[in-house]
Structure 1
C-alpha cells in the first residue's frame, strides 16, 4: 500500500512538473507549445501585447511593415493554475489555456474584454512556389458590443458588426485590419495579404490568404481615444501639416493648359473667395506612353517654373498628380524594367490612346512599380525630385496608390516583388509607396512639410504626412450618405486625415440630363454639390474635385444667387474656424486625438453607437450634414469606378423647372445625452438625449457646439496666412467647465519638432463664471508678442452664426496669465 502511494505521489509530481515546464518565461513575456502550435505572448507596453502563433518546429522571422515600435521593458507577473497560464501587467491580463491553445484578454481587474474562440488554424498553401499557410483566427465578441474601423468601405454602415469584408485594396475601398471596441480595446491583425473579415453570431474572424504565422496585437486604452493612442504608439505618430493645407482646395479632371490652371486662381482672387490650393491632374506629361513621366512634356505647359511662380505670387499652392505606374517611354520605366522593378498586370490606363473607351489595339504598356524595393523607391524619388520638386511643387496627389488592378486574375498575385509574392504583401502597397515619397522628401528638405493626397492607405500610414481621399465615388445622394461612415471608420483605424471629392467624382449624368448641357447649372447637382461642400468644410481637407461637371464656384452662378452664396459661405466658415482647426491638428499630433469623431468616442450614450450621419469635428463641434435632397428629387447615378464614366442619359423630372432654393426646410437631428448643446447659428440651448427637428436653409446645415466649449474665431481672409491672428474672438459656451489650447507655429517647416511653437491655455470655470488664460508656453520666429483677445458669451436668443457678436470683454494679451470674471 505504501509503495502504491509513493508511486502515485511520484506520478502527481511528474504531472505537475510537466505542467510547470509547459511554458517558458523571459523578460518580454511567455512562450508555450500546445497541440503542435508554438505560441508567443510578447509585451510591448503594459497596455499592448503581441500574439504570434505558428506550427511547432517552423522558424518564423517576420519584420512588420506597419509596426515601428520596439517592445518596452514591461514589468509583469505570471502564474499557472491548472491548465491556465496568466500574464498580468498593471493594465491587462492575458490568459493562455494550455489544453486548447486559446487566449483570453481581460483588464487587470478581471473585466472581460476579448476571448479567442478557437486556437487558430494553419492550412497549407502554395504561394507562387513557396510553401506557406492560409491563416485564420476567430474571436468571441459580446452581443451588445459595437466595433469600428477596418478601413473605408462604401456600405453606409458605421458599426462593423454582422459584416463580411473581402479585404483587398480597391479604388473606393481602403482596408486596414484593425478595429476598436466600445469596451475600450483594439485589435490589429498584422497581415498584408488579401484577408476575409467576418463577424457573425458564431464568431469574429480574420482569415488571410498568406501567412507564415498568425500575428496580431491586442491593446487596451480604456476608451476609443486611448486605444487609438496605443495603435499610433505601435505604428507611428501623426506629423503636423502646413497651415495652408487646411484652407480650400480647387481641382477638377483636369486643367488642360497652364494658363487655365493659373486662371482659376486668378478668378478666385478677383471674386474674393478664399483659396489656398490648386491641383493639376494627369497628362501634364503628354501622352499615355509617357504616363507619369513626372515632367511637363505636354506642350500646353510650356513654362512650368513660371506657372508655379504665378500661383505662388497669388499666395496659393500647387499639388500635382503622380502615379504608381509608368509608361514604356518614360525614363523611370527604362531604368526600372531591366532591374525587374515593374509588376506585370493590367493597370490604368489600358490604352496608349486617350480616347474613351480604351482601344486595346494600342495597349499602353503601363506597369506599376515595386514600392517594396528600397532601390525602386529611391529611383521614384530621384525623378520626382528632378522633374517636379525642384520646381517648387508644394504637395503630391498620389493617385492609384492601391494600385489600379484591372482585369484581375488570381495568377497576377504570383508576381514577384522585393518582399516575395504580390499576394503576400498586396494590401501594404499604399503604405510602401507613400512612405517612399515621404521619407525621401524629409531626407531632402525640412523646409516644407510633406503633404501627400493619396487614394489608398494601410496601417501605419499616418506617420507619412498623407491625407487619404475616398476614391472615385459617384455623384449621388447615396454616395454622399456613405461618405460619413466611410470617413469615420477610416479615422477609427488611427489614421486621422481623410476627405472626399466634393460633389462626387462621376457626375456626367447631371451634365447630359440638363437643358443646356451644363451640369453646374442643373438644380439636382447644385443642391448635391452645395451639401457636399458643407460636409467637406468639416473634414480634415476641404477639396472640390470631379469629372464632367466643372466645380469652380463661378460655374454655379454668381454672387447674390442662392447656390453661389451657399458655397461661398461654407468656404468662408472654413477659414473663420482655422484657429480651431489648426489647434485641433496639434491635439492629433501631440495627444493622439482625431478630427472626425464618431459620437461613440465622446458620449456614453448607447443611442449614438450606430449613428452614421452625425459626428464631432474636434472636441467641440457636432456636425449633422444634410444628406437627403430637400429641394430636388434624388437621382441615383450608377457608375463603375474601375471602368470609368457613366455615358447613359438619366431622366430628370426637374428638367427645365425652376427650383426655389430660398425656402426653409427641416431635418431630424439627435443630440447625444449627458450634456447640453448650443445651435451654432442661433445660440439656442438644447438639452441632449433627444431627437428633434432642425430648420435648415440651403446655406445652413445643423451645427452644434457642446456646452463648456471655448471656440476661437479667426479673421476673414483670402488665404490661410494672409493675416496673423493678432485679433481673435473666443466664443464661450457656458453650462459646463471647459478648456481649449490655442496652438501656433511657423506654419510650414519642421521646426515645431525642435520646440518652435507656442501654446496658450484657456480654462472656463462654469460655477465661478471665470476664464483663466494661462502663460504662453514656448516661442518661435514671427511669434506675436502682444495681441487682442475678444470674448463673447454665447446666449440663447442672441444669434451669432458667422458673426462674432458683441464682445463682453476685450483684453490685450502679452503672454502672461490673465483671469477674467464674467
Structure 2
C-alpha cells in the first residue's frame, strides 16, 4: 500500500485527498469512502472488533443514520490500520481486512493472511415513497461459490436445512420468525440491520402460475380446468371453470372463491398441463390450509394437512420443458369455514443466479449490515451476541417440563391438573394458563374472570407452596374497545387506532387493536398494567402470544402495514418486523426495574435480532399435529439457533389436530405421534407440551399400562436426569455465548455430508438426537458424523463415525448417541427441578479421549450470578494417563459443601465404575 500524499485534519477526522476530490475520510472507528458510482455516494466501514466490521452504504454524501433497535451501544476498537492504492481503500484488524473499491463502493472481506472470505457483487438504493416520506428500496448482493452452505435467518417451516439456492420472504407471521442473521460455512455471518420485509435469495420471485404456459385437461391453452365440488358427494358439483391463477392466500383473496362453493363441504380439483418458458427445474410454492395434494406426471409430490386458518408452506421442485407439456393435478379440501390456499411458481435459476445471494428490503435510508468473521460457528454466533446482547441464564425451572393446553378454563382445571401430576409422580415444573382466562369480551383487561377463577392469588399460592409448580400466563399486546385498559391507553395516545377506525373484528367478533410498541412511554405503561394486574399476584413467567402482532390471522401484508400506521417511528413499512423485539423489551425492563431479584422469562411467538438479551425464548407457533410438521421442526430449530437466539421450542404434540384424531378414529396413531414428539422434545432447550383437543396431559393421552404412556413419562423423567448437564449448557450460553440446540455442521464443519441433513440435531456439543417422524417406524437411518466414535446413550454400544447406520427405535426411545470424548453429568429423577440437592451425581466419560465438562450451579432463580455468585466444578479426563480430575471454583449461598460423584468410564472394551467423594478440594482418580 502506498502512503497518503496529502493529509489535512477536519473536525477530528483525517481527510485523504487524491487530486481535487476526497476519496475517503479516516475516522476514529473506521473510514468513509466516496465512490465514483452514481448510485452509491458513500460507504462507511466501522471497525466494531477484531472480527466484526459494520458496512453502511448511502445514496447521499452526507450519511443519515438509520435507527437500530437490535444493536447495543458498544465501544469500537481503534487498533486498526488503513491502506489505500489507486483502486481501493482498506481497513485491517489483526484478524480480518475489508477492502472498498473506489469506483463502485463494493466491499470485499479477507483474512489477515489475504484469503478472501466473501465479497459484495452488487448493491443499490432505489428511491421509494413510504406512507408520508421518502426512503429507499435496498438490495445488497454477495458472491456465493457453489460449495457455500447458508444457514440461519430465523425459523422457517419448509423443511430446508441449507438455504443456498433458496428464496425466502422474511417477515413475522405465525410459524415464521425472521431473525436477520445469516451464517455461512465459509466462516462468516451477515447481520442485516433492517426492519422491513426482506426477500432473501437470488432475486427471483414466486409468481402466479400463469407466468408459465397453462393448458386445460383437454389441451386448450391459457388455463387449467377447475371443478368445485362437495368433499362428501363427488356428484355434487358447485361450479366448473377455467382458471389461470390459484390464489386464495388471505382474507382479501378468499373473497374470489366462487360464490356457489361451500368451504365447509368443499373440494377443488385443478387439472391440466404446464409447460416451461425455458427448460429446467421450476419451484412451486404451496401455501395451504386443509388437505392438499399435488401431482406432476402422475406422481404425488405433496400430501399434507394443516388447520384451515394457518396454512403450511412447502416448496416442490418439478422439471419442466419448454417444448413438452407436463400433466399436473392439484386437489384441495379446505376443511373449514375460513380456509386459505395458493400455488405460485418460480422459474429455474440462471448460471449467474447460482453464484450469488442477496438481501432485498422494502425500506431503509441506507444499506446497513455487520460482517462477522469466525473460525467456528460458535465464534460467529458469539459475534452476533456481542452486537445484540448476551443471553441471561434462564431460571433452572425453565429447563424442566411444562404442561400446557389450549386451554385451561378455570382455577379448578389448573389445580386438578397439577394435583394429578403430583399424585401420578410425573415430573412437572411449570403450568401454563393460555388465553381467555378473562371475560370473553374483555381481552386486554388482564383480569381473571371471577366466575371461573374465584381467587387467582390463592391458586398461585397453592401452586407455589403446595405443589412446587411455577405459573406462566398468556398476555397479549392487544386491547378490546370499551374496557378500562383500552381507555387508559387511548387517552395517552398509546394505541394503534386504524383497526378500531375500520371497525375490524377478531376471531371472537370484537373490535380490537394493539399498543404502539415503538413509543417508549407506551411500553412503560403496558408494563405498569401487567405489574398491577398480574405480576402483583406472583406470576412467574410471561407467554407473549401473537407478538407479530396478530390482529386477525390471514390479513394481507398490505392490510397489516395499513393498520400499524401511524406509529411513533412514522412508518409501518420500514419497521414491520421490529414489534416483538420491543414488546419483550417492555416486559424485561419493567420487571427488572420492579424486582431485580427474580429472573425474567418470556416465551414469545415472534422475535427479532437482540431478543435474547430480554430473557426471551421463541416457540414455533401453531404448527399442525402431523408427522410432517414434526420433522420440519428439526431444520426450523437448527436454523433458528444458528441465527443466534439460543432458546427455542415447539408445541410437543403439535398444536392443531385433524378431526380423525379428535374423533378417535385413529387414536393409536395419535398416541404414538404424541410419544414420538415428547421423545424429541425432551432434548430441546425448552420442553413443553401444548395443543388443542384431545387433552394433552400424559394421563389424558394414554392409559398407564400402555407403551405410549410409558414412553411419554419416560421421556419426561429422562429430561430431569439430564438437568445438571442442561443447566451447565445454559451457563455456557450466557458466559461463553454458546448454543444449546446445534446442527451437526456446527460440531463437524469438515464433514460435508452433514450440511443438508434436515432430520438430525444435537443437544449441546455432545448428544446426537434423531427423531422418529413416521408412524409405526421402529428403526431409522442415522448418519454418524465423521472424525469420532459414537456411543448409544441407552446401551453404550460403540459405532465408528462417517457411516450411516440403521438405528433401532422401539416405541419408548428414539436413537440418541453421545460423541466420544464427552462427559455427561446426570442426576436422579425429580418431581421438579429443585426438589432435591444434587448431592449424588453420575459422571459418564465416553471413550479414552481427552474430555472436559464444567458443571455449573447457582441460586437458580435470581440474578446473583451477575455478581459472581455461582460455582463451576471442572471435570477433566486426561486420556494419556487415564486420569479423571475434579476441581471446583466459586461459591454461592446454599452451595453444597460435600457430594458424591459416581464416575463411569466407558471405553471400547469395558465399563469401569468408581465412586469419588468431593468436598471442594481438587481430587483425582485413575482408571
**Under a length normalisation based on structure 1, what TM-score does the superposition of the two structures give?**
0.89
How far the C-alpha of 1:629 sits from its partner, in A, is 1.9
Give 3-state SS (helix, strand or coil) of 1:175's partner. coil
Counterpart pick for 2:769 among 607, 614, 623: 623
How far the C-alpha of 1:170 sits from its partner, in A, is 0.1
RMSD of the alignment, in Å?
1.9
Cα offsets for 1:242-281 (capped at 9, x unmatched): 1111110001001111001111000000001100010001
1:17 paired residue number: 18
Quote the Cα distance in structure 2 between the aligned partners of 1:192 and 1:617. Answer: 31
How far the C-alpha of 1:511 sits from its partner, in A, is 3.3
Quote the Cα distance in structure 1 between the aligned partners of 2:18 and 2:649. Answer: 59
How far the C-alpha of 1:328 sits from its partner, in A, is 1.2
1:300 paired residue number: 452
1:381 paired residue number: 527
1:204 paired residue number: 357
2:171 paired residue number: 168
2:883 paired residue number: 770
Quote the Cα distance in structure 2 between the aligned partners of 1:444 and 1:256. Answer: 30
How far the C-alpha of 1:505 sits from its partner, in A, is 0.5
1:564 paired residue number: 709
2:43 paired residue number: 39
1:816 paired residue number: 921
Aligned partners of 1:186 and 1:218 also within 8 Å: yes
Aligned partners of 2:545 and 2:604 also within 8 Å: yes
Quote the Cα distance in structure 2 between the aligned partners of 1:411 and 1:701. Answer: 44
How far the C-alpha of 1:77 sits from its partner, in A, is 1.4
How far the C-alpha of 1:121 sits from its partner, in A, is 1.1
Aligned partners of 1:676 and 1:735 also within 8 Å: no
Give 3-state SS (helix, strand or coil) of 1:423's partner. coil
How many pairs does the alignment contain? Answer: 752
1:421 aligns with 2:571: yes
Taking structure 1 as reference, are residues 395 and 750 closer, same or farther at Cα in structure 2, changes over 3 Å only?
A: same
Quote the Cα distance in structure 2 between the aligned partners of 1:558 and 1:136. Answer: 57
Taking structure 1 as reference, are residues 807 and 307 closer, same or farther at Cα in structure 2, changes over 3 Å only?
A: farther
Taking structure 1 as reference, are residues 244 and 807 closer, same or farther at Cα in structure 2, changes over 3 Å only?
A: farther
1:584 aligns with 2:734: no
Quote the Cα distance in structure 2 between the aligned partners of 1:207 and 1:486. Answer: 22
Quote the Cα distance in structure 1 between the aligned partners of 2:560 and 2:504. Answer: 19
Give 3-state SS (helix, strand or coil) of 1:145's partner. coil
2:549 paired residue number: 403
How far the C-alpha of 1:345 sits from its partner, in A, is 5.4
Counterpart pick for 1:291 among 440, 443, 452: 443
2:368 paired residue number: 215
Aligned partners of 1:566 and 1:698 also within 8 Å: yes
Quote the Cα distance in structure 1 between the aligned partners of 2:75 and 2:513. Answer: 39
How far the C-alpha of 1:162 sits from its partner, in A, is 1.2
Of 51-60 and 263-272, deviating more is 51-60
1:430 aligns with 2:580: yes
How far the C-alpha of 1:413 sits from its partner, in A, is 1.9
2:69 paired residue number: 65
How far the C-alpha of 1:446 sits from its partner, in A, is 1.7
Higher strand share: 2
Of 49-58 and 252-261, deviating more is 49-58
Quote the Cα distance in structure 1 between the aligned partners of 2:24 and 2:907. Answer: 65
Quote the Cα distance in structure 1 between the aligned partners of 2:698 and 2:662. Answer: 20
1:732 aligns with 2:845: yes
Give 3-state SS (helix, strand or coil) of 1:746's partner. coil
Cα offsets for 1:563-597 (capped at 9, x unmatched): 11000100000000000000010000011111111
Quote the Cα distance in structure 1 between the aligned partners of 2:701 and 2:439. Answer: 30
Cα offsets for 1:596-647 (capped at 9, x unmatched): 111110012111111111111011211111122225xxxxxxxxxxxxxxxx
Aligned partners of 2:904 and 2:912 also within 8 Å: yes
Give 3-state SS (helix, strand or coil) of 2:592's partner. helix
1:472 paired residue number: 622
1:782 aligns with 2:863: no
Give 3-state SS (helix, strand or coil) of 1:174's partner. coil
1:691 aligns with 2:691: no
Taking structure 1 as reference, are residues 767 and 510 closer, same or farther at Cα in structure 2, changes over 3 Å only?
A: farther
Aligned partners of 1:251 and 1:546 also within 8 Å: yes
Aligned partners of 1:682 and 1:797 also within 8 Å: no
Quote the Cα distance in structure 2 between the aligned partners of 1:442 and 1:792. Answer: 42
Counterpart pick for 2:784 among 671, 674, 679: 671
Cα offsets for 1:475-529 (capped at 9, x unmatched): 11110011010011111111000000011100142334424xxx7xx11111111
Counterpart pick for 2:463 among 311, 314, 320: 311
Alignment of 1:648-667 (within 5 A): 665-667=778-780
How far the C-alpha of 1:178 sits from its partner, in A, is 1.1
Aligned partners of 2:708 and 2:811 also within 8 Å: yes
**Under a length normalisation based on structure 2, what TM-score does the superposition of the two structures give?**
0.79
1:179 paired residue number: 182
Alignment of 1:89-104 (within 5 A): 89-104=93-108
Aligned partners of 1:502 and 1:545 also within 8 Å: yes
Cα offsets for 1:3-54 (capped at 9, x unmatched): xxxxxxxxxxxx9932994112122111121124111111111111111111
Structure 1: 5+ residue stretches without partners: 1-14, 632-664, 799-805
1:498 paired residue number: 648
Aligned partners of 1:33 and 1:56 also within 8 Å: no
2:690 paired residue number: 545
Quote the Cα distance in structure 1 between the aligned partners of 2:874 and 2:786. Answer: 27
1:609 aligns with 2:609: no
2:481 paired residue number: 328
Cα offsets for 1:397-452 (capped at 9, x unmatched): 11001111532252542511111211111101100001110111011112211011
Quote the Cα distance in structure 2 between the aligned partners of 1:439 and 1:127. Answer: 31
Quote the Cα distance in structure 2 between the aligned partners of 1:451 and 1:609. Answer: 33
Quote the Cα distance in structure 2 between the aligned partners of 1:430 and 1:331. Answer: 24
1:29 aligns with 2:30: yes
1:110 paired residue number: 114
Structure 2: 5+ residue stretches without partners: 1-15, 203-352
Cα offsets for 1:46-91 (capped at 9, x unmatched): 1111111111245403331000032422311122122111211111
How far the C-alpha of 1:796 sits from its partner, in A, is 5.9
1:277 aligns with 2:430: yes
Higher helix share: 1
How far the C-alpha of 1:324 sits from its partner, in A, is 1.3
How far the C-alpha of 1:772 sits from its partner, in A, is 1.2
Taking structure 1 as reference, are residues 797 and 307 closer, same or farther at Cα in structure 2, changes over 3 Å only?
A: farther
Aligned partners of 1:146 and 1:161 also within 8 Å: yes
Quote the Cα distance in structure 2 between the aligned partners of 1:442 and 1:488. Answer: 30
Aligned partners of 2:514 and 2:551 also within 8 Å: no
Aligned partners of 1:20 and 1:80 also within 8 Å: no
Give 3-state SS (helix, strand or coil) of 1:579's partner. helix
Taking structure 1 as reference, are residues 512 and 721 closer, same or farther at Cα in structure 2, changes over 3 Å only?
A: closer
Taking structure 1 as reference, are residues 58 and 22 closer, same or farther at Cα in structure 2, changes over 3 Å only?
A: closer
